[in-house]
Amino acid sequence: MIFTIALREIKTLFISPLAWAMLAVVQVILAFMFLAHIEAYLLLQPQLLTIDNAPGVTELVVGRLFGSAAIVLLLAVPLLTMRLISDERRNRTLSLLFSAPISMTEIVIGKFLGCISFLGLLLLLITLMPLSLLVAANLDIGIILSGLLGLMLLLAGFVAVGLFMSTLTQYPAVAAISTFGVLLLFWLLDWSGDENNWLSQLSLMNHYEPFLRGLFDSADAAFHVLFIATFLVLSVRRLDADRLGS
Amino acid sequence: MVSGCTCSVGTKFTSAIDKVPAPAFNAQRVYISPRTDSLRMSSELLVEVNGVSRSYGNIQALNNISFGIGQGEVLGFLGPNGAGKTTTMQIISGNLAPSAGNVSIAGHDLLTEPRAAKAMLGYLPEQPPIYRELTVDEYLDYCAALNRIDRAQRKHARDTAKEKCGLQDVGKRLIGNLSKGFRQRVGLAQAVIHLPPVVILDEPTIGLDPLQIREIRNLIRELGKDHGVILSTHVLPEVQASCDRVQIINKGSLVLSDSIDGLSRHMKSSLLTVGFRQAPDLLLLQALEGVQSVQADGERRVQVFCDPNADPTDQIVKLAADKEWGLIEITPQGVSLEQLFLEFTKDEQKAAAGAEA
């Protein structure tokens, strides 16, 4: 049942030009960034040779590429998630889901998974770029995988926030702008001075960055999972409240 | 009308998952015709609504409503705009939780076993829940999947629903490009694709042209053969055309529940429209036996309100011939919703005035 909803979500995405435009734009921008990172690495290379234990090409190129991808997708994901529920509410199609024998949790998880699968495809395309370096260089696959896992968790968090914002309103644009605001705020929380400040503990950035260095900390992973779960539960609660009419 | 005990069940539902003990059966019933009574005895009720109330903030949209519907029955839910029809439909279809009371569909409580209950119903809201960017076939397949029809049977279910609703030729077309009548049919097909015992239709003919209205009415009568159908409308002829039983709701309360044939019994007068070539003498018409009042409608037409048991048609014809008024038209108007409404709200107002005095 979750599958049915997820599949339809993907189908709707690819029927509309939005998905294609997003794939194209993100790919073009990241390709440019990727090339820029490689160029920067080539300029740095002579100096790196003189340093012991210098960071390798994987860390300098792939790590930075995934870092930039997070920022680009911070802008793109709100546009993807904005219409998840708000559109259905606006077109009065929610009642189709509400009067079908499925629970709110299934609706929310179905929509969530639909979006995640699309972003999975996007990630695959992004990852193909650094993998092309395999032809000429030795890559640290461990760092790539850890970066990929980090980015996936981060994006799942973005989608969860976007989904929740989409349940709050019937205007996709409002959902998009509020998702963007919330995500940016969570991104910037570590700007609040002291590094061990409790606010910076909540920063998405702080829990993403270690993955890019190839450092898998279960605490960071747990933070992302909790972050995702919180917003999914909030979405289910919001849809339930719809029925109660409050 | 039988006024029963007042509902004291005030359970607050916080979530569909909460296990809420079913509120005690509420004995309040409005007038029930003999036919439905016997039906209630003989077969199990498909939908049972017990003491349902619903408020939006301070506005009481529904006030302690109870009714039932059996197999093969088409129930017309009639009322003016804002009377609580849509709220009732939304509650029965599980789109809205009642503030008090409970609803059970084919023996499954909508709040404690939502999945089993919702599998038993099909719902067409006022605005059909369609995705404009899908084709009819894609959309119906999706609805079939949502209603947990096995993959192997989906095609068959889709074809049957399309045939029922006359959609065979538009399967490959985008819903967004269809005319309003066809979209309404797609909405209907969606509601019956899983062959639910109960079909709930909220104003299914609104915004359609007369030909389409007739088709939809035929369809509803067809559906009524194997499904229990609840139909909400504010047009009386619609109820007369397609329903077995009618319920009138006003300001959130049921004021009447009766079979279609029983409706006229509630009328204190019936109406004749009479047209003449010459202007008639209203006083002479007024004096006829069985005539309650006469109202001029233009210069040569009159509205004659008469006792439903004494038909003065013959006397009017005779009088017109004697006086050479030149009778050109005489039309019985039957029951009109406005009249029915006036009748029932008049009683209420009188009762209210009596209570105050």
> Does A17 reach chain B within 8 Å, measured CB to CB?
no
pLDDT of residue B23: 39
Residue A246 lies in a domain: no
Please classify residue B12 by burial: count the beta carbons closer than 10 Å to its beta carbon, then call 0-12 exposed, 13-18 middle and 19+ buried.
Answer: exposed
**For domain B34-264, which CATH number applies: 1.10.150.530, 3.40.50.300, 3.40.50.2300, 3.90.550.10?**
3.40.50.300
pLDDT exceeds 50 at position B14: no
Q: Calculate mean pLDDT across residues B261-284.
A: 77
Q: What is the pLDDT of residues B162-216, one digit of tens each?
A: 988 888 999 999 999 998 888 988 999 999 999 999 999 998 887 778 888 888 8
Q: Least CB-CB distance to B93: which of A15, A93, A99?
A: A99
pLDDT of residue B181: 84
User: Are A99 and B118 contacting, i.e. CB atoms less than 8 angstroms apart?
Assistant: yes
Q: Calculate mean pLDDT across residues B261-270.
A: 68
User: Are B129 and B187 contacting, i.e. CB atoms less than 8 angstroms apart?
Assistant: yes
CATH topology of domain B268-334: Alpha-Beta Plaits (3.30.70)
Assigned token pair, B25: 């059966």
Domain boundaries, chain B: 34-264, 268-334
Assigned token pair, A199: 């606010």
Q: Which residue has the higher pLDDT, A162 or B56?
A: A162
> Does B151 reach chain A within 8 Å, measured CB to CB?
no
pLDDT exceeds 80 at position B107: yes
Mean pLDDT split into 10-residue runs, chain A, 246 residues: 92 91 95 93 86 80 91 94 92 91 94 95 93 85 92 96 95 95 90 72 87 89 95 95 74
Work out whether the CA dihedral A93, A96, A98, A102 comes out positive or negative. Answer: negative
pLDDT exceeds 50 at position B21: no
pLDDT of residue B268: 62
Q: Calculate mean pLDDT across residues B97-102.
A: 89
What residues pair up with B69 in beta bridges, in sequence order?
A: B47
- Reported ipTM: the value is 0.88
- CA-based nearest residue in chain B for residue A87: B131
Q: Which structural domain range is residue A133 located in?
A: 2-46+54-241
A94 contact residues in B (CB cutoff 8 A): 129
b/e burial code for range B340-357 (CB count within 10 A of at least 16 → b) = bbebbeeeeeeeeeeeee
The model's confidence at residue B9, banded by pLDDT at 50, 70 and 90, is very low
> CA-CA distance, B89 to B125, in Å (whole number)?
8
pLDDT of residue A195: 66
In angstroms, the separation between the Cα of residue A99 and the nearest Cα of chain B is 6
Residue A229 lies in a domain: yes
A241 contact residues in B (CB cutoff 8 A): none
pLDDT of residue A206: 86
B134 contact residues in A (CB cutoff 8 A): 15
> CA-CA distance, A207 to A218, in Å (whole number)?
10
The model's confidence at residue B355, banded by pLDDT at 50, 70 and 90, is low
Percent with pLDDT over 90 in chain A: 65
**Who's near A180: CB < 8 A, 6+ residues apart?**
A74, A75, A78
Q: Calculate mean pLDDT across residues B149-153.
A: 90
pLDDT of residue A101: 92
DSSP state letters, A177-240? HHHHHHHHHHHHGGGSSSTT-HHHHT-HHHHHHHHHTT---HHHHHHHHHHHHHHHHHHHHHHH
The backbone region for B268, taken as left when phi is positive above 0, alpha when psi lies in -120 to 50, beta otherwise, is: alpha
pLDDT of residue B334: 63
Q: What is the pLDDT of residues A151-208, one digit of tens each?
A: 999 999 999 999 999 999 999 999 999 999 999 999 888 777 666 677 778 888 889 9
User: Are A117 and A6 contacting, i.e. CB atoms less than 8 angstroms apart?
Assistant: yes
Please classify residue B166 by burial: count the beta carbons closer than 10 Å to its beta carbon, then call 0-12 exposed, 13-18 middle and 19+ buried.
Answer: middle
- Residue found under tokens 């539902």: B13
> CA-CA distance, A27 to A21, in Å (whole number)?
10
- CA-based nearest residue in chain B for residue A5: B146
Q: What is the pLDDT of residues B233-247, one digit of tens each?
A: 877 778 877 888 888
- CA-based nearest residue in chain B for residue A101: B115
First vs last Cα of chain A: how many Å apart? Answer: 27
User: Are A200 and A206 contacting, i.e. CB atoms less than 8 angstroms apart?
Assistant: yes
Number of compact structural domains in chain A:
1
What residues pair up with B246 in beta bridges, in sequence order?
A: B76, B258
Q: Calculate mean pLDDT across residues B64-74.
A: 88
| Least confident span in A109-123, B54-68, B224-238, B266-280 | B266-280
Test mutation, B146, B154, B188, chain A, max A CBs within 10 A: B146
> CA-CA distance, B107 to B113, in Å (whole number)?
10
Q: Least CB-CB distance to A15: which of B90, B96, B133?
A: B133
pLDDT exceeds 60 at position B12: no
pLDDT of residue A75: 93
pLDDT of residue B342: 67
- CA-based nearest residue in chain A for residue B140: A96
